[in-house]
Chains A and B, each alone.
Chain A
Amino acid sequence: EAEVAQSPRYKITEKSQAVAFWCDPISGHATLYWYRQILGQGPELLVQFQDESVVDDSQLPKDRFSAERLKGVDSTLKIQPAELGDSAMYLCASSAQNYNEQFFGPGTRLTVL
């Protein structure tokens, strides 16, 4: 069964360093989402892509976060520089088209020291 893939699963870094996360959505899914989940809270959307275009990045801290989906398939989320408050689980999800079920990846747990 097709699943959303993410790597790495765990990342430990020091503050002020750069980190990058990768997501490979289910084949054929046009919509890709990046969520951040802080411990004890529900996931919060950071950025949403429709194919290679950003359709919502209103909650993305653009001074340090960037996201791209150059060919409309896989995606990379980058943080530079990382801060202590960025420690969280970063989840990627994809859906076949708007208003359909979102399928989630296993997440990348980031710890910033």
Chain B
Amino acid sequence: AQRVTQPEKLLSVFKGAPVELKCNYSYSGSPELFWYVQYSRQRLQLLLRHISRESIKGFTADLNKGETSFHLKKPFAQEEDSAMYYCALTGGATNKLIFGTGTLLAVQP
């Protein structure tokens, strides 16, 4: 079955601390992995996708096919990073996104 697992509902860190949001997936094939972010009172938006291998707002994510993981990392958290983060995947004939349950990142001053 296709599934995305985000084990942490809430991650609280202090400003300047490193951040790692965990994401594991199960998929029989070669999925494309994404991180979406939703800031307070804003719409859901794409943060990054694994095929672009970009660093967006200081965040990176590496696809580990052996561990079926796509963890999101940032070396130094900022208060403006506080938001809800969703890991998602697509695969197969359509572009259907399968989301995890999300992790709320709270960066304390």
Contact = CB atoms under 8 A, between A and B. Distances in A.
Interface of A: 3-4, 31, 33, 35, 40-45, 48, 55-56, 91, 95, 98-107
Contact of A95 (B45, B49, B86, B95): B95
B43 A42 contact: no
A42 B94 contact: no
B101 A40 contact: yes
Contact of B99 (A42, A101, A105): A42
Contact of B43 (A35, A100, A105): A105
B99 A99 contact: no
A42 B90 contact: no
Q: For this complex, into which size category does the number of interface residues on chain B fall?
A: 10 to 19
Contact of B88 (A3, A42, A99, A107): A42
A102 B88 CA distance: 12
Contacts of B17: none
Interface of B: 4, 32, 43-46, 49, 86, 88, 90, 94-102
The 10 closest A-B pairs by CB, nearest first: A42-B99, A104-B44, A98-B95, A104-B43, A45-B96, A106-B43, A43-B99, A42-B101, A101-B46, A56-B94
Contact of A42 (B46, B95, B102): B102
Contact of B97 (A3, A102, A107): A102
